[in-house]
Every structure is written in C-alpha cells, then in structure tokens.
C-alpha cells in the first residue's frame, strides 16, 4: 500500500493528520456496500467526489470532509507526498473558509448508533475474548552469498511489493484454549488443532505484498503439517514449540502451478496453565512464493523468498481491531478446515 | 538442475542445500571421462534420485532458531518504515464523525479496497 511509505510517512502530513484532522481509515469493500447510516453517510460524501458514491464500484481514495458530510477535498491515493501535502493544505484552507458556526465544536449533531442498527452483513467484530495476532508478510531476496535480505526499491527492478504487508489472525476463545494440552509433559507432541492450522495456511500464508491476495482454496492446500511439542512446563505456564510445513499451489502439480508457496514454519506458543491467556504466539514462515494473483499483478519472475511472521497483538490499539482480510467471509474464515 | 536447486530454500547462512551438493557430485562423475555406458547408467540413477527427491525438494528446509530470529527481524517493519502508524487512526467512521463534531475538526478518511491498517 503505497500511501504508507510515501504520503503518510511524511512528517508534515503526519502532523497535519494527527493535529488538524480526525484521521480515520476504512475498507471500501465494507463501507460502500453497507446499508445502514454509516454506509449512507459515506456514500453521501463520496457522491460529491469523482468516485460517485455508488455501491457498484470502488470508492477508494483519501477524503477530507466535515462531520456534517461536506466534502472539502479528495485524492485517489497517496503515492506522492508532495501532492498529498498540497491536498491537506487545500482541505484545511476550505475548512477555515467555512462559517465559524459550522466549524465550532458541537456544531454538527451526530447521533449515536445502536449496534443493532448496523448492517450485520458488513460489520465485523472480534469474538468475545478472542485472540488477535499480528501478521507481517515481506518479500525477501538473497544476496550473492545466499543470505536473505529485504528487497529495496533500488534493487527490486521495478517490483513494488518490497514493503511489509499487514494482516491479523483471529482465534476464538475456544480455539486458543484448545492449544493447552490437558496434562502437559515436556516432549509430548500433539498436532496443532486442525481448524487453526487450516486457517493459518489458507488465509494467512498468502502473498499480500502487492495488494489484496487470493485466499487458498481447500484443494490448493497440497501439504499442511503442523506439530506442537511441549518444551517447558512450570506451575504457571506451558511453552509449546510449533513446527510446520506447507505446500500451497493453484494446481495439483506444484511444478506447473501458476501460483504457490512452499514454506517451513517455526514458532513458540506460551499459555498460562490456568487457561487465562496466551502469553506468546510467535511464529515465522519462510519459503518460496511464485505467481501473481487476481489483484496482485507484478510478481517477480520465478520463485522467490517470502516470509510471514506472527506475533501477539497488544490489543489496545484501534489497528489491532481491524478484521482479518479473509473475514469478508466470516463463515469461511471460522471453518477453514471444512 | 539449476532451476530445481533454485526452488530449494538454502539455509540463511548461505550453505548449499542437499540437492545442490548432489548435482555437483554428478557433474564431477561425468567430467572424469567414464565410459558412455557408465555415464549413462550413473546419470540414469542420478536422474531417478532427483525425480524421487522432487517431492522432498518441494518441502522447504526446516527453520532453525537462528533462522527464526533472522526472519523475524527482517520481515517486520524496520525503524522508520511504520511512521504512518504513529497517526492516531480511528477505524470507525461514525466514531470519527462524532469525535470531529465534538472537537470542531474536519475528518481525513483513508479508504482503500483492503483496509489500510491491515490486508496488504
């Protein structure tokens, strides 16, 4: 997502967004479709801009508007910080030209919305006591000695997906509690619960570094092997070593498959013995990826290293509450193994 | 052969993977000038071994704890790569609207296909 590294990493834009505006993010897939007050408000703002505000096509972009819904400025993306800085100033200038009565605190009346009035088809929430794990994905390359390193804009030959991509893994309370063996002894080996390993493989070992990724279909999971080994047991906690291996490909013959990921995994999960919480969920996948997806054109030629790292979210930042990309279809997300 | 070797995940320290060493051994045998039949037989055995190991070749090398540390360090955003995350983003448009009304500020909405704080 280009705007992260360009416009929204610019110090002046960060200052303006943080101090002079209320900054908010949204996934247009939900927002343009939802049939409730939130969707109506957003589409009303978007209708004043070039996207048109319909639910038939994308309305993505960067919008500047008032709490009452008056559009001040619009830019389709934030690739160029210089351009975006000008748009911020243009929006702020238009805001300042509005009558003082429109701008003052409390001028716009925004009613509260009951949760029951939100369109449930396009509203997502973490299940009660669910676990959020941050997922980072990055395209890597090898140096002349074969050592892995990050791709850089200079060496990527026009390849644009060299920045870290983000997603979140959600586990229900019952799922993360199922990770705790009933009578753990060091050296015991148990499989990772099927639903968790299937969810990780199908929805989180994807190459999302160049845009919205295709999720793996059940028949595209050619190998999915995860093993948990009890590595430490104390009165307070249990530590588990997680090892795994996946082969994901768009065809039964990975030699010929147009897209795939062949990776090994290693990690550590640590739980309170009382079952109260997960202390650690550290997992790394490393393997070769190949091929482009529907919305992720421009893959590097051949097979190239891709890393995926999982780490427990702090849980108190708004960003931690962003649903997993694959939660657009929650029934599928929570039944990945079927 | 190079293409097959290239699909393997070599260890992070750069040591050659198993299939790469096998290929080099076969190459030396051919260069020793053995009889054509012997070379053919050797090659056939070697090819069979490669074919048999192809399914294994498509299994990435297991990660060591050292590998894990390196991968984790370079995969996550480095210093200065997550400045955008320092902006106090709301993720609820209606909540942002209420806050803007209360504070007397305009709103900036970063709206993408795929959530800007997740997804890609």
- Look up the ipTM and state it: 0.91
User: Chain A within 8 Å of B57 (Cβ-Cβ)?
Assistant: no
Residue A12, Cβ neighbours under 10 Å: how many? 12
B96-102: average pLDDT: 97
pLDDT value of residue A154: 54
User: Chain B within 8 Å of A337 (Cβ-Cβ)?
Assistant: no
Residue B3 has pLDDT above 60, yes or no: no
Residue A75 sits at φ, ψ, to 5 deg, of -145, 140
Full DSSP string of B16-57: PPHHHHHHHHHHHHHHTT--HHHHHHHHHHHHHHHHHHHHHH
Residue A67 sits at φ, ψ, to 5 deg, of -65, -25
Residues of A in contact with B94 (CB under 8 A): 37-38, 41, 110, 113
> Do residue A147 and residue B14 have CB atoms under 8 angstroms apart?
yes
Residue B49 — pLDDT band, cuts 50, 70, 90?
Answer: very low
B88-102: average pLDDT: 96
> Do residue B9 and residue A168 have CB atoms under 8 angstroms apart?
no
DSSP state for residue A40 in the 8-state scheme: H
What percent of chain A has pLDDT above 70?
A: 96
User: Chain B within 8 Å of A166 (Cβ-Cβ)?
Assistant: yes
Predicted TM-score (pTM) of the model is: 0.84
Residue A246 sits at φ, ψ, to 5 deg, of -135, 150
From the list A317, A17, A29, the residue with the least C-alpha distance to B108 is A17
Alpha-carbon span B79 to A271, nearest angstrom: 30
Which residue from A minimizes the CA distance to B77? A164
Alpha-carbon span A129 to A179, nearest angstrom: 15
A156-183: average pLDDT: 86
CA A242 to chain centre: 23
Quote the mean pLDDT of chain A.
92
Alpha-carbon span A276 to A231, nearest angstrom: 20
User: Chain B within 8 Å of A102 (Cβ-Cβ)?
Assistant: no
Option in A95, A211, A302 nearest B106 (CB)? A95
Residue A256 — pLDDT band, cuts 50, 70, 90?
Answer: very high
Calculate how close chain A gets to B105, using CA atoms only, in Å: 6
Calculate how close chain B gets to A272, using CA atoms only, in Å: 23
Asked if B91 and A319 touch (Cβ cutoff 8 Å), the reply is: yes
Asked if A50 and A74 touch (Cβ cutoff 8 Å), the reply is: yes
User: Chain B within 8 Å of A28 (Cβ-Cβ)?
Assistant: yes
Residue A192 has pLDDT above 50, yes or no: yes
Residue B12 — pLDDT band, cuts 50, 70, 90?
Answer: very low
DSSP state for residue A122 in the 8-state scheme: G
Residue B1 has pLDDT above 80, yes or no: no
Option in A24, A138, A149 nearest B109 (CB)? A24
Residue B31 — pLDDT band, cuts 50, 70, 90?
Answer: very low
Alpha-carbon span A204 to A309, nearest angstrom: 10
Residue B14 — pLDDT band, cuts 50, 70, 90?
Answer: very low
Residue A276 has pLDDT above 80, yes or no: no
Alpha-carbon span A65 to A171, nearest angstrom: 36
Residues of B in contact with A91 (CB under 8 A): 106, 108
* Integer angstrom CA distances of residue B108 from A38, A69, A102, B82, B119: 16, 12, 17, 19, 20
What percent of chain B has pLDDT above 70?
A: 51
Residue B4 has pLDDT above 90, yes or no: no
């Amino acid at each position: 997502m280009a705007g992260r590294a360009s416009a929204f990493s610019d110090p002046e834009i960060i200052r303006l967004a943080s101090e002079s505006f209320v900054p908010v993010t949204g996934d247009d897939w939900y927002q343009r479709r939802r049939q409730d007050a939130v969707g109506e408000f957003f589409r009303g703002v978007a209708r004043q801009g070039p996207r048109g505000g319909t639910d038939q096509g994308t309305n993505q972009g960067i919008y500047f508007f008032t709490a009452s819904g008056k559009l001040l400025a619009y830019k389709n993306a934030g690739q160029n910080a210089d351009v975006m800085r000008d748009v911020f100033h243009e929006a702020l200038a238009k805001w300042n030209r509005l009558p003082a009565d429109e701008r003052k605190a409390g001028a716009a009346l925004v009613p509260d919305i009951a949760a029951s009035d939100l369109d449930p088809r396009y509203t997502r929430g973490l299940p009660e006591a669910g676990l959020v794990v941050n997922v980072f994905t990055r395209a890597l390359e090898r140096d002349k000695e074969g050592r892995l390193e990050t791709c850089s804009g200079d060496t990527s030959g026009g390849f644009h997906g060299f920045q870290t991509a983000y997603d979140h893994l959600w586990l229900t309370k019952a799922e993360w509690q199922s990770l705790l063996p009933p009578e753990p002894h060091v050296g015991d080996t148990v499989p990772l619960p099927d639903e968790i390993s299937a969810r990780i493989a199908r929805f989180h070992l994807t190459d999302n570094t160049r845009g919205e990724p295709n999720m793996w279909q059940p028949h595209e999971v050619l190998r999915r092997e995860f093993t948990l080994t009890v590595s430490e047991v104390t009165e307070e906690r249990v530590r588990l070593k997680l090892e795994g291996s996946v082969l994901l490909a768009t065809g039964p013959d990975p030699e010929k498959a147009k897209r795939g990921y062949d990776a090994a995994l290693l990690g550590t999960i640590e739980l309170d013995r009382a079952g109260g919480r997960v202390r650690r969920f550290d997992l790394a996948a490393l393997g070769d990826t190949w091929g482009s997806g529907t919305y992720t054109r421009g893959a590097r030629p051949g097979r190239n290293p891709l890393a995926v790292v999982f780490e427990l979210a702090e849980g108190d930042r708004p960003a931690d509450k962003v649903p997993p990309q694959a939660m657009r279809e929650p029934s599928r997300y929570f039944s990945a193994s079927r | 052969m190079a293409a097959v070797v290239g699909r393997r995940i070599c260890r992070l320290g750069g040591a050659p993977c198993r299939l790469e060493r096998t290929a080099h051994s076969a190459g030396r045998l051919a260069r020793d000038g053995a009889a054509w039949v012997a070379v053919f037989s050797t090659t056939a055995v070697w090819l069979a071994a490669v074919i048999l190991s192809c399914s294994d070749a498509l299994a990435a090398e297991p990660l060591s704890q050292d590998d894990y540390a390196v991968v984790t360090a370079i995969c996550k955003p480095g210093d200065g790569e997550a400045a955008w995350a320092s902006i106090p983003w709301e993720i609820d448009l209606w909540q942002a609207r209420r806050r803007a009304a209360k504070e007397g500020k305009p709103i900036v909405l970063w709206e993408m296909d795929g959530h800007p704080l997740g997804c890609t």
